[in-house]
Amino acid sequence: TIPVASLIAFTGLSLNDHNNPYYLQPAELNWQDGVPCASDFGDVYFSRDDGSAESRYVFLDGNQLAERWRALDANKPGRFTICETGFGTGLNFLLAWQLWQQCAPDSWTLHYISCEKHPLNSGDLAKAHQHWPSLASLAAILQHNYPPLIPGHHRRSLGERGPHIDLLFGDIADTLPALIDSIGSHPDSSPRPVDAWFLDGFAPSANPGMWQASLFDAMARLSKPNASFATFTAAGIVKRGLRERGFTVTKAKGFGRKRDMLVGHFSAAQPDTEPALPPSPLPWHQPAATASVHSVVVVGAGLAGCTTARALAERGLRVTLIERRANPAEEASGNPQGMLYTKLSPEPGLLNVFTLHSFLYALHHYHRIASNSDAIDGEFCGVLQLANSPREAALFKRLQQQLAEHHWLQFVDRDRASALSGIDIRQDGIFYPAAGWLSPPSVCKERIAHPNIALLTNSEALSLLDHGDHWQIIGSGQHPIAEGDAVVIANSHDATQFSQSAFLPLRKIRGQISYFRQQDVQTPPRCVVCHKGYVAPEHKQQLCIGASFDLHNANSEVTAEDHAYNLNTLAGLSPKLLKPGSEAIGGRAALRCASPDYAPIVGALPDIEAFDNDYAALRKDARRAIDQPGRYVRNCYVNVAHGSRGLTSTPLAAELLAAYLCNESRPLPKQLCESLSPARFIIRDLMRSKR
């Protein structure tokens, strides 16, 4: 277990003064002639005269974005990253996005990272956007995808080609260092993602807390060589702070009646300007930047493999997806109805952060896909999660106190639960209106329909050979079946077949679902209901219920015992849902893959021998500080162990893997990356003297 105190700085989901890990103080506004003004800072979000002209002048022109974007090489894929201090109304973001659409080549993606301590609530956001009719269509997309006001890192993709936006909700003094921490603190080998800085935030005199040394340190650490910055202020503290860290700083004419502002560039870090970062006591999770990767082989075309393939393909990488079956999603991702569900907890804790953020990201992700394509079979009919024990009911009560203001979930009593679901329910629950069920095979097919993805079916990868500059995948008869600069192992428990991932402690959990005739259903459910099992609304004239859970049986035959188990569990929920004597007309059994701590396994594969040597001292002293960054297998990654929540967890896991492979900033804080990392098992075993 990780002490709560150390969670505070990193996860953004920590116990705070309100004893509520989900609490965030929203912006407190007063409106002056329709312009939002922050009551606690006594400053406006944008100029009363012409807010959008000022933003364009200071931030877009100050960073020379139009010229730079027109000069990008249209023949290559690429990513341009802006980092902003103070998201506010999103005006700067919307203007940058609009300009990007006008100037940047299609092969490039805009990545916009913005820090915000007091986000506007969605009503205020929409009200502020009314000022700019020319931005209305982009503003509507932003409003639609705006994350709930919860601390932490929220990634959103606002279109097929982006922009990708990372909203870091929390104090910049915590969130920027956490972002650095997640990509590794090594000045030479860790990624440097940022091309341009928008230093907004209220004036240093009104908001000295923001313009601290830690901000300038973070800028020096995250900037690419020659990254630009622009800011409306010309305050001495900003000028000095940036110069001391290797930025050239120039005074420019301010907007309108304002005299000065500052613009400049980061000259490649000098040893004496590189900020001293506190050394990590055990830097095993400091993956160095990946050598440039253009092609990737992904092994396994289930949800994990298909979402990973798509995340890489959208970044311009060529992907070969290898599948031993005749079609994608024929094994554990093959159920006709997968539930988009989560189990939140009122406690702060790493896995709870992942549970929450992967769920919110998955909702956003699937709604975005569904709004652009009808290729995915499913229904956002809502998911009702019921309290299965007095302990769970007590947890729900605490969650209700913590999340009372939120609209993406509703706490419902048994009457409301019955009305929502259409069946007679006797427990209280939580209703997630935007969730539902999706067909995982249709998700897989939709995800891999991309020109950069080649699917090789009926091809079983049997071993993976690193030739130093590329990977070769060997199939039956020792024949090479694919090659790539990097490889991602996403074939569930069969990952242990490969020498590189043989150490993973994967478990097989058998699960069976049962189908019933529509005529046998007395009270058809209107939404997904998760209780000790689950039941989904009818689909293709059948009712599907699930799922058994067996850790000790690796057989994937459909059995009568498991049908009986599923029926019994359903009867515990609602004895009248099916007509008496109804019998299953079929079913499907598959083996889910889980890890011992039930967290997915996502990240670079460790070089086991090197770990055993480098961290040998942990066997004697688990708290020993060892100043040796982890050594990893070259360009070799894994994405497995999503258990029964693959629909929910794979979209964010795929973003994390793509961030590793493409040297982007990570969508999750470092400690969470660590708790998903495959190397965690080696470190834990060394600490417990088990290896």
Binding residues for ligand SAM, per CB under 6 A?
Answer: 27, 45-46, 84, 86-92, 115-118, 171-172, 200-202, 207, 209-210
The distance of closest approach from Cβ of residue 132 to ligand SAM in the complex, given in angstroms and rounded to an integer, is: 11
Shortest distance (Å) from residue 594 CB to ligand SAM: 38
Taking the complex as a whole, how short is the minimal distance between the CB of residue 24 and ligand SAM, in angstroms?
11
- Dihedrals φ, ψ of 309, to 5°? -55, -45
DSSP state letter for 57: I
Whichever of 49 and 413 has its CB closer to ligand SAM, that residue is: 49
**How far apart are alpha carbons 502 and 657 in whole angstroms?**
20
* Closest C-alpha to 113, from 151, 80, 77: 80
Closer CB to ligand SAM, 151 or 264, in the complex: 151
Structure tokens at 298: 């992904």
User: CB–CB of 303/652 below 8 Å?
Assistant: no
Q: What is the nearest approach in angstroms of ligand SAM to the Cβ of residue 59?
A: 8
Q: What span, in angstroms and rounded, lies between the C-alpha atoms of 275 and 269?
A: 9
Residue 201 or 511 having the CB closest to ligand SAM: 201
Q: Is 88 or 546 the residue whose CB approaches ligand SAM more closely?
A: 88
Shortest separation between residue 172's beta carbon and ligand SAM, angstroms: 4
* Nearest distance in Å: CB 57, ligand SAM: 13
With CB atoms as reference, the residue minimizing the distance to ligand SAM is: 86
**Number of CB atoms found within 10 A of residue 578's CB:** 22
**CB 402 to ligand SAM: min, Å:** 22
Amino acid at 459: S
3-state secondary structure of 555: coil
CB of 12 to ligand SAM, least distance (A): 12
Which residue number, 235 or 687, has a Cβ lying nearer to ligand SAM?
Answer: 235
Enumerate long-range contacts of 173-177, CB under 8 Å, 24 or more apart.
173/209, 173/212, 173/214, 173/215, 174/9, 174/12, 175/12, 175/115, 176/115, 176/214, 176/215, 176/218, 176/222, 177/9, 177/214, 177/218
Q: Which of residues 207 and 286 has its CB atom nearest to ligand SAM in the complex?
A: 207
C-alpha to C-alpha distance for 258 and 45, rounded to whole angstroms? 16
* Cβ pair 178, 9 in contact under 8 A: yes
Sheet containing 480-484: give its strands across.
463-466, 471-474, 480-484
* Cβ proximity to ligand SAM, 84 vs 614, nearer residue: 84
Pick the closer one to ligand SAM by CB: 34 or 279: 34
CB of 16 to ligand SAM, least distance (A): 15
Q: Which is nearer to ligand SAM, 20 or 212 (CB)?
A: 212
Residues listed for the chain: 691
Least separation in angstroms between residue 176's CB and ligand SAM is: 9
User: Are residues 79 and 317 in contact, defined by beta-carbon separation less than 8 angstroms?
Assistant: no
Q: Which two tokens stand for residue 340?
A: 């988009």
Q: How many CA atoms lie within 13 A of 479 on its CB side?
A: 5
Nearer to ligand SAM, 210 or 577 (CB): 210
- CB-CB contact of 656 with 676 (8 Å): yes
Q: How far is the CB of 234 from ligand SAM (least distance, A)?
A: 16
Least Cα distance to 430 among 358, 356, 512 occurs for: 356
Q: How far is the CB of 495 from ligand SAM (least distance, A)?
A: 40
Residue 114 CB, nearest distance to ligand SAM (Å)?
A: 7
Q: Which is nearer to ligand SAM, 209 or 283 (CB)?
A: 209
CA-based R_g, the chain, Å: 26
Instruction: For residue 539, list its beta bridge partners.
Output: 542
Which of residues 118 and 493 has its CB atom nearest to ligand SAM in the complex? 118
Identity of the residue, 39 or 522, whose beta carbon is nearer to ligand SAM in the bound complex: 39
Q: What are phi and psi of 293, to 5 degrees?
A: -115, 125
Kind of pairing between the strands at 78-85 and 152-157: unpaired
We find the least distance from the C-beta atom of residue 257 to ligand SAM, in angstroms, to be 18
Instruction: Indicate the residue type of 264.
Output: G
C-beta closer to ligand SAM: residue 211 or 660: 211
81, containing H or E segment: strand 78-85
b/e string for 112-124 if b means 16 or more Cβ within 10 A? bbbbbbbbbebeb
Q: How far is CA 665 from CA 178, 267, 362, 489, in A?
A: 11, 21, 19, 22
DSSP-derived 3-state class of residue 195:
strand
